[in-house]
Amino acid sequence: MKNPIKFKMNMRNFSNVSRLFLLTFISLVVVSCHNRNPRNNKSLTGWSSKDKENAGFTADSEYKGQEAPPGMVLIEGGAFTMGQVQDDVMFDWNTTPVKQQVRSFYLDEAEVTNSEYLFYLEWMEKVFPPNDPSYKNIYQSAVPDTLVWRDVLGFNELLTENYLRHPSYADYPVVGVSWLQATQYCKWRSDRVNEKILMDNGVLNSIYEMDSLNIKGRNNFNTDTYLTNPDLLFQGDSTIYNYDRSGELKQVKIADGVLAPKFRLPTEVEWEYAAKAIVENREYNDIRGRKKYAWDGKYTRNKNNKYQGDQLANFKQGKGDYSGVPGWSNDGADITIQVKSYNPNAFGLYDMSGNVAEWVADVYRPIIDNDANDFNYFRGNIFTKKYIDAEGKVVIVDDASVEYDTLDNGKLIPKTIPGSVKYIPVTKRDAYMRNNYEKAYNVDARDGDLASTKSYAKDEDELDTKPRMYNSPVKPREIGESGLIKQQYDEEVRTTLISNETRVYKGGSWKDRAYWLDPAHRRYLPQYMATNFIGFRCATDRLGSMTYKRRKPTTTKIRY
């Protein structure tokens, strides 16, 4: 080393240069990361959130994600085998395996109880008092059939009088509810949940505490009506809203992400997927549909030392044996039992096997073939649209314009209740040149409609009567002088009960043997009928990501 002083100076200069380079590189990385952050970046038009707000447009607000509705749990979607791969001992080929993809959704932890349904009845009685001739059929259409407990050779009159309303059965699942009644409850629940959300957020006043407001008939909160035009609620009464300092009404819209999606019955594929809960065991056999019950294992008795031998669900154990031997291996109930009496499945759902069977949304067909839609399968779609009058206004059902359906059992049920938006089926003009649907009524698509019969080449207008694939009973609908349907029976020879008004119910009940506890099994009943062993629970859609766990974007390292 000839000149050590000069060498030290060169090293010092090199160190300064390297530091400068390092600082420059870090700055570029920070700027790059800042620009990649969608919250800091400008929109596709170059307008930032601040620019929009200054110009009088709605600024982008941070959406924190959808919260689970009260009493519900998230069911993360995925692929599974619907149906059963095990031996079909009934040989009816009713549950043949079909691979399905299910979207994420929310489902009630347990069945709707008597206490919850009574709140619904109390609300209906207050808003649509049965002593008012305009509403007498509305309230009555929601009341469960308590006579389902009667048996010509059994003494169950005590249950007929007490099961629905006595506090001893408050936390028991409601029964005697038809598919139509369960569907109406889901619609009512949607409005009550969103009504509470708006009151909690200060948008709506506490309308039930306002002396100047009479909540009756059309004057009730409806989500669709509110989203269509807030002035249509309560006939334009502005006292129901809170206003800001400038005196302007802040209307909550779908884009705000505040209101909850509509509640509904789960579809058959959703219910079965949630009941099987293969999330707890991802072995090949379970994914292929070999899971037998809602719990892990192929037996109905508990294996734990403390509760060894006890039943894992409420079901009929044998002829004349609904509860087991007293004091040992007792399932705790002779009929239904309090919800959440047994351990939940891997999704956190209670009584998906046993207690009561449950209505699902689907119209029944004997088989779901391999050519069916493999993404969120559902049979029962009737596509509708809002009814617009000649003046271009959305029609709201008035107290005097309620329309009723007469069911086959002679009971009346309102098509829509006062205060709600009137919907009508879409027309062929609406579906013109579409490649995903051609008409409104798709309940019998590819299995019972004109295209699936021998008359497929004909036009519907050319036929005097529409061809029927299923020879189900046709109830005469002759109205008598009293305005009620005459009690008549179909005298033709019929070979099946399958029709477009027949709905699926899933799961075993307190009245069923262990065979029916398998979530893959499916049964059906006309949608207007009710029993003492069928209940229901509600579902609603998951918006956005499939799960609470948000995936972080992967970054690719660039090598120079």
DSSP string, 247-282: S-B----GGGT-SPPPPBPPPHHHHHHHHH-GGG--
Instruction: Give the C-alpha separation, 465 to 138, whole Å.
Output: 33
What pLDDT is stored for residue 1 in this prediction? 45
Paired sense of beta strands 522-526 and 534-535, if any: unpaired
Is 50 exceeded by the pLDDT of residue 286? no
Q: Could you tell me the CATH number of the domain that includes residue 273?
A: 3.90.1580.10
Gap between the Cα atoms of 163 and 240, Å rounded: 38
Q: Give the angle 509-513-517 at the CA atoms, nearest 5°.
A: 60
Q: Is 123 helix (H, G, I), strand (E, B) or coil?
A: helix
Q: Are strands 357-363 and 534-535 parallel, antiparallel or unpaired?
A: parallel
Q: Which of 45-49, 141-145, 318-322 has the highest mean pLDDT?
A: 141-145
252 falls within a domain? yes
Helix (H, G, I), strand (E, B) or coil at 495: coil
Give the N- to C-terminal CA distance of the chain in Å, as an integer.
34
User: Residue 368's pLDDT band (boundaries 50, 70, 90)?
Assistant: confident
- 260 with 254: CB under 8 angstroms? no
- State the average pLDDT over residues 234-256: 84
Quick check: is 36 in a domain? no
pLDDT for residue 314: 92
Q: Does residue 456 share a domain with residue 419?
A: no
Same domain, 427 and 480: no
Range with the largest mean pLDDT of 63-72, 78-87, 322-331: 63-72
**470 and 438 in one domain?**
no
- The boundaries of the domain holding residue 162 are 78-448+500-541
Regarding whether 217 and 169 lie in a shared domain, the answer is yes
In a domain, residue 56? The reply is no
Phi, psi values for residue 21, rounded to 5°:
-65, -40
Write down the pLDDT at residue 375: 93
Give phi and psi for 284, each to the nearest 5.
Answer: -60, -40
Distance CA 500, CA 445 (A): 10
> What contacts 183, CB < 8 A, 6 or more positions away?
264, 265, 361
Weakest mean pLDDT among 111-120, 155-164, 384-393, 471-480: 471-480
**pLDDT value, residue 457:** 72
pLDDT tens column, 398-438: 988 888 888 888 888 999 999 999 999 999 999 999 999 99
Same domain membership, residue 201 and residue 323: yes
Residues 471 and 363 in one domain: no
- Per the structure, the count of domains in the chain is 2
Identify the pLDDT of residue 446.
87
| Mean pLDDT across 50-65 | 70
Query: Considering the domain boundaries, does residue 123 fall inside one?
Result: yes
Answer yes or no: is 473 within a domain: yes
Q: What confidence tens digit (pLDDT) does each residue in 199-225 have? A: 998 899 999 988 888 899 999 999 999
Does 40 map to a domain?
no
Residue 422 half-sphere exposure toward CB, CA atoms < 13 A: 17
Q: What is the pLDDT of residues 478-515, one digit of tens each?
A: 888 777 788 888 888 888 999 999 999 999 999 999 99
Q: Residues 6 or more apart from 316 whose CB is under 8 A from it?
A: 322, 510, 511, 512, 513
Q: In the structure, what pLDDT confidence band is assigned to residue 559 with cuts at 50, 70 and 90?
A: very low
94 within domain boundaries: yes
251 & 364 share domain:
yes
Residue 186 has what pLDDT?
A: 97
Q: Are residues 256 and 214 in the same domain?
A: yes
- Do 239 and 99 lie in one domain? The reply is yes
Residues 197 and 270 in one domain: yes
Same domain as 490, residue 415: no
308-360 pLDDT, tens digit per residue, is: 778 889 999 999 999 888 877 788 899 999 999 999 999 999 999 999 999 99
Cα 493 vs. chain centroid, distance in angstroms?
37
**Residue 19 lies inside a defined structural domain of this protein:** no
SS (H, E, C) 337-356: CCCCCCCCCCCCCCCCCCCC
CA atoms within 13 A on the CB side of 370: 2
For 150, the enclosing helix (H) or strand (E) is: none
Close Cβ partners of 534 (under 8 Å, ≥ 6 residues apart) = 175, 177, 356, 357, 358, 359, 505, 509, 525
For residues 392 and 340, membership in a common domain is answered with: yes
Single-letter code of the amino acid located at 356: V
pLDDT tens by residue, 159-174: 999 999 999 999 999 9
Res. 248: pLDDT tops 90 = no
